[in-house]
Structure 1
Amino acid sequence: MSHANSTLHFNKQYDLQIAYWLLACAAVIFGMILLGGVTRLTNSGLSMVEWKPLMGIIPPLNHADWQELFFKYKQFPEYQKINAGMSLDAFKSIFMYEYLHRVLGRFIGIIFVLPFLYFYFTKRIKPGLTPKLLLMLLLGGGQGLLGWYMVKSGLVDNPDVSQYRLTAHLGNAVLIFGFIWWTALGLLSTPKPQQAGLNSFAYVLSGLIFLMILSGGLVAGTNAGHAYSTWPLMGDSFIPAGLYSLQPAWLSAFEDITTIQFNHRMFAYLIVALVLTFAFKALRAEISKPVKIAVWCLLGLLALQVTLGISTLIFYVPVPVAAAHQVVAVALLSASLFISHSFFHSSGQPN
């Protein structure tokens, strides 16, 4: 084997190591998004009223510790206005969801930072990749701060977090996940020619699915999923009364639960129509077998997501179904990004 081929093989081996590390990080973040959804759905997010980035990893170790944490919780509006009279055992239940959510966040930081330092100091990171990894690290650190900024909004007079901050927190988590997934794909894949003409369609579809997830964040943040538990009608009609009734009208898209749920439904119909159109075009085009498989996965995940979305509504937002609805949205985005990356990569663009 020549020196050039040996070096190429050596570098490819490092790329694969980094890709597998990034995929492991992405998998844990995927679980983190699921746990975050469960934390929100069980109304557990305001059970920890302090933010201790270092000492906060130590759980309550005895009855006195639990009593102290419960006493602190009682000083805030959620207990006083919603959970007055709550037992210590009930508090333990909601506390553990939020505690595990925060601990998993710290764990993600560890499994990202330590391997990054190892790869960096052993010079295994190829040129141009280090800035991307540092950006991931920056976004991850910002996510922790954004999480606490969100929690703080519910520790005032109104015991509910801001839907704007919750949507930003969810959106940043999905952005980090997508960024890591895309980067790992660039390290794993080799360019294969795909039929031109679908590139822009694939990119737009990925962007719209991301916006759809943000729309879901607004639904979760305002509890708009409880507003109408019927489908395909909202109450007695397809277009409910009172849409965009706030002043100014655009504010309704962010603060009126009827408008928020209606927009989420309309966004869903748009995504379904576009995915079906894209799949029809893609499966008739000259695309590689992995991309064809990804298109079929996209269709399967879409069918599952629609089923979960309708079930979430008509069964009045059961926690397992609603949590699955959130996390399958991220899986749908993953499949879409894989397809987009395949077109992006095959067109000769950089990773």
Structure 2
Amino acid sequence: MTSFLRSDRSRPVAVWLFAVAVLVLAMVVVGGATRLTDSGLSITQWKPVSGALPPLNTQDWNDEFSRYKEIPQYAQLNKGMSLQAFKRIYWWEWGHRLLGRLVGAAFGLPFLYFLVRREIPRRLIWRCAVLFGLGGLQGLVGWWMVASGLAGRVSVAPERLATHLGLAFILLAALVWTALDAWAGAPRVKAQTPWIGYAFGLMGLIFLQILLGALVAGNDAGLVYNDWPMMNGALFPKDYAGTSLWATLAHSQAAVQLHHRLTAYLLLGVAMFVAVAARRARELAPEAKTLAVLVAGAVGLQACLGVATLMTHVPIALGMAHQVMAALVLALATTFTWRVRRL
């Protein structure tokens, strides 16, 4: 067997982790489509094992449809829906859950294989174990989110949607970082530079913007105030305030969209500033400088995509593209941060 001490890096492990990161990105895409098609509540039960099988006959389909008819979304939004229409939304949610199971298998089985062969660098074993645990937690959080829409609501709670999406993006960033560590090995010397703080700050701002975007999605706030740069012709929306601070921050359509807009402007300015400063910084490696420029360019593209998505009333294709671009922005920022920590 290969010794743990043979090397502190493993290219096969890195490829595996990058592949799982791609699958997580696919989960984000399918999850976005599930939300945009209002399909997330079509499966009203959580069966981690037996739920992998879809309805196999007419009776199974009728049973699933009957359970869906018992929740508020059907009674208030989809009353009279045909079985064929139900099948269309059902397949989106079933595909999302199946992909989640595939991600679990794609991580868990190779993890055991690499452990037995002692190919995972010793310093990364615990991190991979935590990633596996977070993946399992994501399944629980997903059901916790769905459960919020089965009684008393016609959609899932926006804050639970933000939690679910936020955890997915944490997994994506952690997978990218760990894959880079597995590919390159441990740094010979860790850099001592304020750029580490700047890079982590940029990552944090990007993640905050993703969470704010999730609140916009959860409140269907992209379907209102569809002019830009004004909001129905005004700088400040008149129905900004909710009945409480939490209602304003998490449930006011006007507030969550305004917060998402303002943070986008801040993020764009910060990303551009970091890119210009990085180009002038003598202590940064050329690769880090290039990555800083790529992050700024991706943020700019994402801002344009966001405006286009808003002004066209969130068509499914643009809504999905906006979510995918958010994942790519975070992945680039993660790579930039990882690079500046190394001399």
What is the 5 A alignment of 1:90-169? Answer: 90-169=85-164
Query: 1:184-195, aligned counterparts within 5 Å?
Result: 184-189=179-184, 191=187
Q: What is the deviation of 1:247?
A: 4.2
Partner of 1:283: 279
1:60, CA displacement in angstroms? 1.9
Shift of 1:158: 1.4
**TM-score after normalising by structure 2:** 0.93
Distance in 2 of aligned mates of 1:15 and 1:323 = 34
Q: Quote the offset at 1:186 in angstroms.
A: 1.3
Q: Match of 1:87?
A: 82
Q: Deviations over 1:298-351 (max 9, x none)?
A: 1331222011100111001111101111121111011111111111233xxxxx
1: distance between equivalents of 2:331 and 2:188? 19
The correspondence for 2:262, drawn from 241, 266, 269, is: 266
Pairwise CA distance, 1:180: 1.0
The reply to whether residue 246 of structure 1 matches residue 242 of structure 2 is yes
In structure 2, how many angstroms separate the alpha carbons of the residues matched to 1:208 and 1:300? 16
Equivalent AA in structure 2 for residue 281 of structure 1 = A
Measure how far apart 1:250 and its partner are.
Answer: 5.3
Q: Which residue of 2 aligns with 1:69?
A: 64
- Is 1:175 aligned with 2:175? no
What code does the residue aligned with 2:13 have?
I
Whichever residue aligns with residue 128 of structure 1, its letter is R
Corresponding residue of 1:224: 221
- After superposing the two structures, state which structure 1 stretch, 84-93 or 68-77, moved more: 68-77
Alignment length, in residue pairs?
A: 339
Give, in angstroms, the shift of residue 10 of structure 1. 4.9
* Aligned with 1:305 (options 293, 302, 305): 302
- Determine the structure 2 residue equivalent to 1:317: 314
CA contact (8 A) 2:121 2:182 kept: no
Q: Find the aligned partners of 2:6 and 2:198 in 1 and give their Cα distance.
A: 36
The DSSP-based 3-state class of the residue aligned with 1:333 is helix
Counterpart contact for 1:199–1:343, Cα < 8 Å: yes
Please state if 1:46 is matched with 2:57. no
In the aligned structure 1, how far is the partner of 2:169 from the partner of 2:3? 35
Cα offsets for 1:169-218 (capped at 9, x unmatched) = 00111111111111111122365997944222111000110111011111
Structure 2 counterpart of 1:345, one-letter code: R
How much does 1:8 deviate? 9.7
Q: Deviations over 1:270-314 (max 9, x none)?
A: 000000100010112233332233223213312220111001110
Asked if residue 25 in structure 1 is aligned to residue 20 in structure 2, the reply is: yes
CA RMSD of aligned residues (A): 2.0
Give the % identical residues: 38
**SS of match in other structure, 2:7:** helix
Which residue does 1:339 correspond to in 2?
336
**Are the equivalent residues in 1 in contact too, given 2:42–2:90 (CA < 8 A)?**
yes
| Structure 1 residues 134-181: Cα deviation after superposition (integer angstroms, max 9, x where no partner) | 111111101001111111111102121011111100011111111111
- Residue 82 of structure 1: CA displacement? 0.7
- Give the superposition deviation at 1:242: 3.2
Contact kept, 8 Å, 1:294 with 1:335, in 2: the verdict is yes
Paired residues of 1:192 and 1:288 also in contact (CA < 8 A): no
Cα distance in 2 for partners of 1:9, 1:282 equals 36
1:139/1:176 contact within 8 Å kept: yes
- In structure 2, distance between residues paired with 1:322 and 1:42: 11
The residue type equivalent to 1:27 in the other structure is V
CA distance change for structure 1 residues 260 and 116 in 2, over 3 Å: closer, same or farther?
same
CA distance in 2, matches of 1:251, 1:91: 32
Partners of 2:232 and 2:141 in 1: CA distance: 36
Q: Distance in 2 between matches of 1:248 and 1:140?
A: 34
Aligned counterpart, 1:3: none
C-alpha distance in 1 between matches for 2:219 and 2:330: 23
Q: Any unmatched runs of 5+ in structure 2?
A: none
Amino acid at match of 2:108: V
> Structure 2: which amino acid aligns with 1:55?
S
Cα offset for 1:240? 1.9
Q: Distance in 2 between matches of 1:308 and 1:10?
A: 47
Query: What amino acid maps onto 1:340 in structure 2?
Result: T
